[in-house]
Each structure stands twice: as structure tokens, then as C-alpha cells.
Amino acid sequence: MSEEQTPFGRGFVAASIVIGAVVVCGAVLLIGSLTSSGATPATAAHAQQQAVVPARSTPTGAATPVSSRTVGCNRSTGDESVPQQPPAVDGWEVSSRIVVPRSSGYGPARTDADGFRRCFAHSPTGAVYAAYSAYAAMADQDKVVATARKLMVPGPGTDALVHELQTDQSASGYTVPQLAGFRVIDASPDRVSLMLATSVNSAYMSLTLTLVWHAGDWLLQPPAAGEPVGAPFAQHRDLSDFVAWSGV
């Protein structure tokens, strides 16, 4: 059995999407945790979930202070349907070496001087666009603390993550895999949970993100204490349960 190591290190993508190893022959994906407890096994629990779950009517969101990065976005609501096909794009571009989509309708409407993309449409499709850009932002190991502050819903969970990043940063030195598709797990007007699939050798791995509409933009919900951002993780043989959507 051959084994190829694909760690992301212990930076923010590290804090978020830490892959411990990809065992190609055994089709086993191990996910490392950015905690003192060490690595935790990847789970395939989400592999049997439906490709699309209808939107719920009850919005949920964190009542936290206004984030400076979201002020002035003023994005329209747009189509509230959950995307079951690849969304229309104006084009694909590279952000932190990750190919991400851009749309005049869904966002991003603004890009900060440091390359951070923001201001996405208040809709499930806008959340998918935001999730792709969030993944790219997390891939940049040199801006982990600034990215966490911009990307996460303000509050104790984000404060704890930032503190951990400030005390334990190490660049990964590995290439972050490109995105291959998405699956919306659950959606409401102000909260969308989804899985992002990435191509890893001959198979696919996924991470799970929850986005919350906060102060005029989609922000990531910080992980629970002791959990890496992106958990639970899973491995997939193909993209049959996902909407294949990639610019590469």
C-alpha cells in the first residue's frame, strides 16, 4: 500500500482544513485536528446525505457586533432557490492560488487591497460563491490571523480561534487542492450549510462549512471548541452527490 502525505500544516487552512494523510490504495482519508488532542479520523457520515435539501423557513444567525468588513455591501437578496446546477459565472479567477468564480449578480462585489473577496448576494447561491472564496482565503498561510478576523462571525468562538492562530502558526509547504464541486446540505434565509469537494489524487475529499448572514454579508460560523474548521470531513469516490463546479 502506497501512501502520499498531503498535510496542510497548522496555519488557518490548517486551523480549518487540516488533512493528515491521503492513503490512496486503501481509500482512507485521515483528518488532523488543530488541537492538543491530536488527529481525528475522517468520517463518511455525510456521504449518504441527499444532494440538495430544500430550504428551511426559519432563519438563524448570531447576534454579534457588526464586522467592519461587511459594512456597506448592500447586496440584493436575489434568487432564494437552492442551486441544483452549476451557477452561472461571469468568469473564473485565481485567489491565493485557488480558482474561484466571480459574478456581477452573486459576488464578490468588493475585493480588499489584500485580495480578500467580500460582499456576496443574500441567497443560497450567493453563499456558495462566498464559500468558494472563503476556501481560497483560508489557503493563504501568510494571512491566517487577518483572514480569521475577516472571515468568521465575530464572537468568543472566533476570538478563541484567533488566539490559537497567534500562538501556533506554521506554514504547510503543501499545495491546497482545487475545488471540484459543492453540495448544499441545509439552507434558510440567513444560514447555509454546505460541503465543498476537492480533488485528491484519484478520489475526492470534502469539508463542511456553515455560513451565516451577518451585517450584510456571508461569514463563516467558527468551529466548536476542539474542532477544526471544515469538520466533518469525508472521502468520496466521485462527484455523483455533488454539483460539479470548477474553473479548472
pLDDT, tens digit (0-9, with 9 covering 90-100), for 66-78: 333 444 576 666 6
What are 238-247's pLDDT values in tens digits?
Answer: 999 999 999 9
Alpha helices (runs of H) in the chain, residue ranges in sequence order: 12-17, 124-138, 144-151, 156-167
Percentage of the chain modeled with pLDDT above 90:
51
Mean pLDDT within 96-102 = 94
Q: Residue 169: pLDDT above 50?
A: yes
pTM: 0.74
> Higher pLDDT residue, 122 or 227?
122
∠ CA 75-106-54, rounded to 5°: 100
Our measurement of the distance from residue 217's CA atom to the centroid of its chain's CA atoms, rounded to an integer in Å, reads 15
Across all residues in the chain, what is the average pLDDT? 74
What are 180-204's pLDDT values in tens digits?
Answer: 999 999 999 999 999 999 998 888 9
